[in-house]
A = this chain, B = another copy of it.
Amino acid sequence: MPATLSSTNRRALSGVLSATVGLLAVMVVAAESADDLKPPVGYRNWFHVNTMIVDKASPLFAALGGMHNVHVNPVGEPALKAGGPYPDGTMFLTDLHDFAVVDGSYVEGALKGLALMEKDSKKYAATGGWGFQFWAGGDPAKPAVTDATKQCFECHQPQKAQDYVYSTYIP
């Protein structure tokens, strides 16, 4: 993975995220533990917000390639439907999976990692009230985010009007 997003990638990311979901930039830089967040359990029973596939044709593929399944916990679900803002305790969890193309269809593969945005307006005041983390393979021992501002928040900042969340409610 590249250590930072190029300006081209930032533009492409902006385009993709404007169209649908966020929670992605956390995957860009791999480093050591930011130990205050833990991978949540039961997220596949949370409300399914949307799915996005970053395909090989995307300039973001090297950093963000895969199928992104986005879920929101019960705390944040009403706020998602209202377009934000989100109460403390809200969690957006993306399970990132590999994918394969079979006869022109994109099918889900193995888990690549878990990305979390968790709202705590005081604790994470410096990053819009959101804590960010990404765990490679979903392994709690493999957090990838050490500088949430650079690795995550810089790309979420343009979404201030939606409480820094790219995802919107799609009925």
Contacts and interface: CB of A to CB of B under 8 A. Distances in A.
A157 interface: no
Contacts of A19: 100, 102, 105, 107
A15 interface: yes
A15 B48 contact: no
A106 interface: yes
- Sorting the interface of chain A by its residue count into under 10, 10 to 19, 20 to 34 or 35 or more gives 35 or more
B104 A56 contact: yes
**Copies of the protein in its oligomer:** 2
A35 B51 CA distance: 31
A104 B51 CA distance: 14
A52 B107 contact: yes
A2 interface: no
Interface of A: 12, 15-16, 19-21, 44-48, 50-61, 67, 69, 71, 97, 100-111, 170-171
